[in-house]
Structure 1
């Protein structure tokens, strides 16, 4: 069992991609919260952030496993090399992985108050979404926009978990900047979701938003999401009134800009590297701004 789990993680979770993404999420988002919190004069990573980081890493693995369970029938037709249809793991292995991982995460977060409640709520919601699609067929496979709307709150709840953990660690009260930032990073996630499926000609059976928005519409929506997220964070930071470090968050916008430009020039798909690198780069820019303004060793 442990061996099959290990092979699954290597094949489906891709630590070389997921770890930078998830750790930058925890660190960068927390740094941005600190940067926007007036009562926090000095910020540094601490034990609370370590718990948050580990929790996000494991949670994203469990979500990946649930996605594979949900998409098993689709993968048998379109992606037979995926872990379940290829026989690398059995569905029972993934169910046990999710169950064991959930128990471990709840135990790790025991005593964290609101953070524990948000985490439990996110787990319950994710399980409900997968169960509804698997058992009741809702949303239907072709309802891509509805599926996106149903799935996005999962990321929002995880960002809320990071925020609540930050509030607990710093002993400060919530303010309006938290929800604004959570909205921004949720919108930014749309860029990666739309961009990685922006193609001029979907392969046989491939689910792509181009069937709803068209190739150019999908590309424009992906870049527009990155632009909107950047503008929201800039307005929250107001670098024109401070030391100017906040302008650094503009740099990651070059990645989806490059991808959209190459697609407009005739590329068959959005290039994969800048598409996947955008969100970690965004979080890294948050970490850099937070460290330059309120960081301390």
Structure 2
């Protein structure tokens, strides 16, 4: 089973992609919290952030496994090369991986107070969503809009977990700015979700928001989500204030969804993969740079 797990991680989790993504999420979002929290004069990554980062890595692997279990029938029809339908790994292997990983996460976060509570709430919610679909068939696979509405809170809960870890490490109280930051990065993730599922000519049986919003509407929704996310961050960082000019850097990643939407408007069948997928890591990277320049070693 260990060997099958290893093959599964390499094929489905893709560490070369997922590890940089999760590290940027944990570190970049924490840097944004530091930037917008008045009670933090200096920010340094520490052990608490390391625990948060490892937790996100493991959690995203477990969510990937649960998604593969949930999408098995869909993948058999449209993606037979994926690990489960191809036989690279067995359903029992993934259920065991989720159980072992869940215990590891709880042990890693023992004693972290509200951060542990936030993690448990996310784990229970995710498990409930998966069970509801596997056992009760809800939401129906073709209800892609409802699927998104049910699944998106998982990302918000993980960002709230990052926030709880930041508050604990810095010994500060929660603020409205922190919750706005969570909402902003959730919108950023939604932009990529729309962008990845924007298509003029979907494959037979493909799940795409174009069936609800139309191809142009889906592209516009993705771009609008990115614009709203960026606007919220700019307002919080307030780069027009004296000494906060570095905050304008958070505008730079918006160029990626603008390029993607522009290419689509020019006639491409889909949003181009590279700028679409790169948007969220670039967004978090800009937060890290701004946080480091304003409240880190160079601040």
* Matching residue of 1:270: 271
Task: Look up the SS of the partner of 2:240 in the other structure.
Answer: helix
Matched, 1:26 2:26: yes
TM-superposed deviation, 1:20: 1.3
**TM-aligned CA deviation for residue 54 of structure 1:** 0.3
Counterpart residue number, 1:10: 10
Where in structure 2 are the equivalents of 1:210-249 lying within 5 Å? 210-243=210-243, 244-249=245-250
1:210-259 residue CA offsets vs partner (Å, 9 max, x unmatched) = 11111100111001100000001111111111321110000000000000
RMSD: 0.8
TM-score by length of 1: 0.99
Q: Does 1:60 align with 2:90?
A: no
- Give the deviation of 1:142 after TM superposition: 1.5
Instruction: Tell me the matched-pair count.
Output: 297
- State how far apart, in whole Å, the 1-side matches of 2:270 and 2:34 are: 37
Structural mapping, 1:124-139, within 5 Å: 124-139=124-139
- Cross-structure match for 1:180: 180
Which residue in the other structure is 2:113 paired with? 113
The residue aligned with 1:291 is 292
Q: What is the rounded CA distance, in whole Å, between the counterparts of 2:6 and 2:200 in structure 1?
A: 36
Query: Where does structure 2 lack aligned partners over 5 or more consecutive residues?
Result: none
In 2, the alpha carbon distance for the partners of 1:260 and 1:20 equals 25
Deviation at 1:296, TM superposition (A): 2.3
> Could you give the per-residue CA deviations for residues 118-139 of structure 1, whole angstroms, max 9, x where no partner exists?
1011001000000001110111
TM-score by length of structure 2 reads 0.98
Equivalence for 1:167 = 167
Once the two structures are TM-superposed, the CA of residue 38 in structure 1 deviates from its matched residue by: 1.1
